[in-house]
Amino acid sequence: MDCIFCGIAQGSVPAALAYEGERVLAFSDLNPQAPTHLLIIPRKHYASIQDVPAEEIGIVGEIVTVAQDLARERGIWPGGYRLVVNAGQEGGQTVGHLHVHLLAGRQMHWPPG
């Protein structure tokens, strides 16, 4: 498998890590869309959120918990932030590994476009 996020999770691809846990890690996005733009991923490969089996859906909760903790630690909360999950090509997903964007540090607008 040739997945850049799997490479980051395995330590063979360098990344600016913001969090490293047993099942989840977070790192800075290489093309930030906000002053704070982190990607939070499961270490295990799931092509998208659609591919997380029901018996493993708890990983999504772990990702959200990491986002909450990072927001508090970095002083983002209570100001505000956005979590984004893109699923599939038409949904804007560009890397085929489940990831959640944590965006903060500027006013977010709706609709996001």
Per-residue burial over 44-62, b = 16 or more CB atoms within 10 Å of its CB, e = otherwise: eebebbeebeeeeeebbee
Active-site residues, by number, are 99
Return all residues near 30 (Cβ < 8 A) that are at least 6 apart. none
Q: Could you tell me the pTM of the whole model?
A: 0.95
Task: For the chain, list the domains and their CATH numbers.
Answer: 4-104 (3.30.428.10)
Count of Cβ atoms closer than 10 Å to residue 10 Cβ: 10
Segment 62-88, tens digit of pLDDT: 999 999 999 999 999 999 999 999 999
Segment 6-46, tens digit of pLDDT: 999 999 999 999 999 999 999 999 999 999 999 999 999 99
Arithmetic mean of pLDDT over the chain: 96
Distance CA 7, CA 70 (A): 22
Predicted local distance difference test score (pLDDT) of residue 112: 79
CA distance readout (Å), 82 to 22, 90, 112:
24, 20, 10
